[in-house]
Amino acid sequence: MGAQAVAIRISGDESAFWGCGFFGAQDTLHDDKGRHYFRDCYIQGSIDFIFGNARSFYENCQLISIANPVTPGAKVINGAVTAHGRASKDDNTGFVFVYCSVGGNGRIWLGRAWRPFSRVVFAYTTMSDIIAPEGWNDFNDPARDPNIFYGEYNCTGAGANMTMRAPYVQRLNDTLISYFLNMSFIDAQQWLQSYNN
């Protein structure tokens, strides 16, 4: 209860989930490896509740933190949505969240750099005020800052204010986001049936 336990591990390539719920606390969804698509899913957790080194596209998903509530104004961080495990610049992996929402309890980061080339993008996502102003964490290893890729694009809500974001966070423009907004990021045209219908 409230501790580390994987609810599901996805290691198969070309896997898709529609309208599924993933419930846990720490390390809920082990998005391990392969190309994956999530649509209209509910994903709940507290610390690194979506983690792994897959290349995944999350569309219209609810990301709900169950981290312990914090006193207003407190600086404590008690959760993180993602911990992506990209270990090399040659790995074509990453998590992309489009038209999602982030809410719940606690004071959390959007992600932390589990591995030195961690890559996560949020676009058109609604973020509540539970997001810490810096938004992201380099796993307390500044040597990772030049290599991690954390980007945000046209997000809304109290947690989407980028004025105090960590210096390595990218404010993506129309050109940079185009690669991540297209489901060709996961080669969907080759295998995702609904993509071709």
Parse the chain into domains and list their residue ranges.
8-183
Q: Tell me, what's the pLDDT at 195?
A: 56
**Tens digit of pLDDT per residue, the chain (197 long)?**
666 889 999 999 999 999 999 999 999 999 999 999 999 999 999 999 999 999 999 999 999 999 999 887 778 999 999 999 999 999 999 999 999 999 999 999 999 999 999 999 999 999 999 999 999 999 999 999 999 999 999 999 999 999 999 999 999 999 999 999 989 999 999 999 875 54
CATH of 8-183, one of 3.40.50.2300, 2.70.150.10, 2.160.20.10, 2.60.40.3120: 2.160.20.10
Amino acid found at 97: F
- Between CA 82 and CA 119 the distance in angstroms is 10
List of residues 6+ apart from 23 with CB closer than 8 A? 7, 44
Select from 97, 87, 96, 90 the least CA-distant residue to 118.
Answer: 87
Distance in angstroms between the alpha carbons of the first and the last residue of the chain? 42
Q: Rg of the chain over CA atoms, in angstroms?
A: 15
**Would you call 138 a catalytic residue per the annotation?**
no
One of 48, 138, 145, 187 is an active-site residue; which one? 48
Whole-structure pTM value: 0.96
pLDDT in tens, 82-119: 999 999 999 999 999 999 999 999 999 999 999 999 99
